[in-house]
A and B are shown apart, each in its own frame.
Chain A
């Protein structure tokens, strides 16, 4: 029962229930609020972590490619 409640809550936005109307989303246009950082900055950080730690891959970034060290 509790699981169904969670699923229903999670599915509510997909069903068309907007929590925040478009005219109240001005803050999301600020580059500081971007959930994905500037791609080149993100890439150099991600590569640093991927090649110095053993936990690469999984989240959209691949675990292969380059330096043969993974």
Chain B
């Protein structure tokens, strides 16, 4: 038999096999049934503009603070630091919703219940430092103008015993290079009105302050496992810059009021990076440099390591170090004739460290809930000038 005959016979076998073999379908009996095709009415029907809740998150945090501050009265002598002991309970709730194809809403309601603050101070006459119940409602609406750009309107009010605050702002972002790069910009204005108490607890009308912030950021995907962000912002504040009841130990052995400038310009640059790790973990690092015209400059460095230990559970460990120079007019014993003076320990030269950990669980659930979210965390914050705080936080949430 010649080669040509052999080839002809092989071709006949192949053709016969192809002609009579059963048809193999990708959607066999074990595959899920195909999704029914959308009808014309569904495709052409108007977009549903009803509000659809995407997620509800709740979190409660407890702060247990110990320490002393030079601005607080109530120490063993008039010029000694007073107690900064405080316990704070902070519940928060957040709702994310969509409305139609382009609009997203975020409503955030944080509440602070501060008790036992400055319990021995004369400023206890001001309820602001004795027991505070404050709450805010913040709302953000984001309009997706195009697949690569969006605009957001921000608004919020804050209510506190002797304090009222309103804020409003605009933000926008635009993606470039197929989403590789995102440039964002935002502006925010805050107006505060609050009672003016002197250091003896007597009320003298109202004080006000305005804070305007503008910031510009760029986020860049560098590699399939690395993303970085750089942000610069400036805040200009005018008005009463203190709480009005902070006091300063004087060289005369008494206490006098804090004297602050009526304007403050603050600059901050933040660089952040997130790196996916080959063992199913992630490392976040950030550095923030801050400087203002009161002479305070600060560096804050933070690292957080996260590790997934199952498809639904990951754990995280955080360390943060902060160092600041303090404002030029900080003092623990002021000359009574000084034009500017503060003994506020927050404005002093200091270092602080935060060590924390968390466990996060995201469990898939049946309709209508897509994921159940649980989180438990603990942070310890320690400042070199006699302040430390234990923080416990717990969150639950639903994603639909």
| Chain A residues with a Cβ under 8 A of chain B | 13-22, 24-28, 30-35, 38-41, 43-45, 47-49, 51-70
Contacts and interface: CB of A to CB of B under 8 A. Distances in A.
Interface of B: 57-59, 61, 63, 90, 92, 94, 106, 108, 110, 112, 114, 128, 132, 134, 136, 158, 160, 162-163, 165, 167, 176-181, 183, 186, 188, 190-192, 194, 209-211, 213, 215, 217, 219-225, 227, 229, 231-235, 237, 241-244, 264, 266-270, 272, 274, 276, 281-282, 284, 288, 290, 292, 296, 298, 300, 306, 308, 314, 316, 322, 324, 326-327, 344, 346-348, 350, 352, 358, 360, 362, 375, 377, 379, 381, 383, 387, 389, 391, 393, 395
A65 B266 CA distance: 16
B108 A39 contact: yes
B90 A32 contact: no
A55 B296 contact: yes
7 contacts: A19-B220, A20-B221, A49-B300, A58-B232, A64-B192, A65-B165, A67-B114
Contact of A63 (B219, B231, B237, B383): B237
Contacts, number: 228
Contacts of B220: 13, 19
A29 to B, nearest CB: 11
B190 A13 contact: no
A57 B267 CA distance: 8
A53 B389 contact: no
| Interface of chain A: mostly helix, strand, loop or mixed | loop
B210 A44 contact: no
Contact of A67 (B128, B276, B348, B381): B128
Nearest to B110: A43
Nearest to A19: B180
A68 B183 contact: no
A24 to B, nearest CB: 4
A63 to B, nearest CB: 5
B227 A41 contact: no
